[in-house]
Amino acid sequence: MTAAPRFTLYSRSYCHLCEDMLAALQAFMARQGAAYSVDVVDVDADPDLVARYDELVPVLVDEAGLELCHYFLDEAALRRYLGLQTAAA
């Protein structure tokens, strides 16, 4: 059985783009009928994350840290990623 994909959404409080990306990810995965998990991490809680992602948030990454998209959910990139996950498993 293939493990459900795990994502991290680097975000910040009061960021409408961040809220939009999370909602878009949830809707996309629901349409796929796919199990997944997502951890939402506030970049402002960690100076290293601010240094890395400050102007890019929201940023969606996979469990290995591969950046899948930022600012907006890139459904095409997510489809490619999930296809690779399925083929590699």
The CATH number of whichever domain residue 27 belongs to comes to 3.40.30.10
- Flag whether 81 is in a domain: yes
Q: Provide CB contacts within 8 A for 21, sequence distance 6+.
A: 9, 11, 58, 60, 69, 71, 72, 73
Q: What is the CA radius of gyration of the chain?
A: 13
Number of structural domains in the chain: 1
pTM passes above 0.85: yes
Tell me whether residue 16 is in a domain: yes
- The pLDDT confidence band at residue 34, using thresholds 50, 70 and 90, is confident
Q: Percent of the chain scored above 70 by pLDDT?
A: 91
Determine the Cα–Cα distance for residues 46 and 37; give it in Å rounded to an integer: 22
Which band of pLDDT confidence, cut at 50, 70 and 90, is reported for residue 84? low
Residue 20 CA neighbour count, 13 Å, CB half: 10
pLDDT of residue 85: 54
Residue 1 confidence (pLDDT) above 50: no
The per-residue DSSP string of 68-85 comes to EEESS--HHHHHHHHHHH
- Residue 1 lies inside a defined structural domain of this protein: no
Enclosing domain of residue 80: 6-88
Angle at 69 between CA 1 and CA 13, to 5 degrees: 105
